[in-house]
Amino acid sequence: MLLMLIVLKLGLLSSNGGNFFSLSSAFQSQEDLSSAAASLPDHAFVLVDRDEYLLDVSDILKTTVEGGLSEYLFSCGILPTEMCTVTTDGYINVSGIGSIDVAGATISEAQARLDALVRQYYSSSLQISLTLHKPRVTSVAIRGMVRNPGNYILSATSRVSDLVLESGGLVFYGSHLGRAVSQQDDSLPVDLSFSAETNRFRDDPFLGNLSVVEMFPCSNPVFVNYRGSIITVDIAPDGTSLSDLLHEFIILRGDVNLEQSYISSRDDRTVPLWDQNRGFTEYTVAPFDTLNLAYQDESVFVSGAVYSPGMIPFNPTSTVSWYIQAAGGYLNEANRGNVIVSTPSGNVENLDIDTFVVQPNSTIEVKYKWIAANSEYIALTMTAISLIMSVLYLTQ
């Protein structure tokens, strides 16, 4: 039987019964910016989209001379690596190079301006890379269909989705659609539905250049009923296919019994969600339809030499190696060639962990290496030998 667990891809929705997320504190005044910035670690190297993130005052950039530094370049004032803070007038000062205007530029654009100055004063073989070392913090207001609207201070590398999460998630009837207003009063679309092509939310701007985010109420809601909680998903007025709805908003990966799940249409029809032979039903989900997801608790227990032994939700078609990774992976003391699976029908040994598909309610045991498994006995034996040797030495 195919069992699955629903997890919202949006990752932001709150049920009508309470939050799914623990919240950080909401900063309410601009005075908290300096203390918030100080709380970030000095080595907070951040990977961001170099062609999307816009630099501004208080961003800290790092320059690095690729391939090392000669004595001549050092005598010219160039440093092997240097931290450059964007000043209030929007410039960074690079030793041995000069000042570069970077405010409002992407990291790639700032890199190009640095490259131009390097070529102007030095050999074209000199390569100095520019990366974002520590982002500025920014104060952004959020309002609309979120649980805790207000002002928040976050890293400028955070996105709208992070702000929605910070504010407690979307309330019931909250839409994934909204708008963001930039500090220049430009209006930007927000669309936190999932794009399979890019593997990210469709429109999820960085917060660094924003002042206000507003999340809209659902215009064309579809209700998802799961374990007594109902959430809403906003779809197009003319509906969407069931498969597209699942791809854009919901991940199914365990604990949902698809064979017993069904759709209640707004015209009082009942449509099965899953067909054993054809898969998901070919059905156009319309506004005000309800997806009723049946729940059944089945799991796999992973024990032994793994980092996080315990219960793992059953995942159809997953192999032994998948469950071991889900339990944190092997310990150094693990005997990787000795993995035993106890199924409802008996034990299985000498199996291929990469191809063996685990049944629900099974137990996977990763054995320890002999020394690790018998460490207590070895320690006792060594202690006894030590005592015997001491007695022999004293009696001589």
Instruction: Report pLDDT for 24.
Output: 31
Q: Kindly report, residue by residue over 102-128, the tens digit of the pLDDT.
A: 998 999 999 999 999 999 988 778 899
Q: What is the pTM of this model?
A: 0.59
List beta partners, residue 212: 141, 181
> Which pLDDT band holds residue 375 (cuts at 50, 70, 90)?
low
Q: Position 324: which residue type? A: I
H-only helix segments in 204-363: 242-249, 320-326
Q: Kindly report, residue by residue over 300-347, the tens digit of the pLDDT.
A: 889 888 998 888 888 878 899 999 999 999 988 888 888 989 887 778
The C-alpha R_g of the chain, in whole angstroms, comes to 29
CA atoms within 13 A on the CB side of 364: 35
Q: How far apart are CA 249 and CA 355, in angstroms?
A: 30
List phi, psi (to 5°) of 53. Answer: -70, 130
Choose between 192 and 46: higher pLDDT. 192
Contact 315, 377 (CB under 8 A): no
Q: How far apart are CA 319 and CA 332, in angstroms?
A: 21
Q: How far apart are CA 233 and CA 26, in angstroms?
A: 26
> Which pLDDT band holds residue 3 (cuts at 50, 70, 90)?
very low
Q: Kindly report, residue by residue over 265-291, the tens digit of the pLDDT.
A: 888 889 998 877 788 888 999 999 998
Contact 95, 77 (CB under 8 A): yes
What's the whole-number mean pLDDT along residues 88-102?
A: 94
List phi, psi (to 5°) of 362. Answer: -95, 170
Non-local (6+) Cβ contacts of 129 within 8 A are 63, 64, 66, 111
Mean pLDDT of the chain: 80
Q: How far apart are CA 281 and CA 243, in angstroms?
A: 8
Instruction: Report pLDDT for 255.
Output: 64
Domains and CATH numbers, the chain: 1-36+137-295 (no CATH), 41-134 (3.30.1950.10), 299-373 (3.10.560.10)
CA atoms within 13 A on the CB side of 63: 27
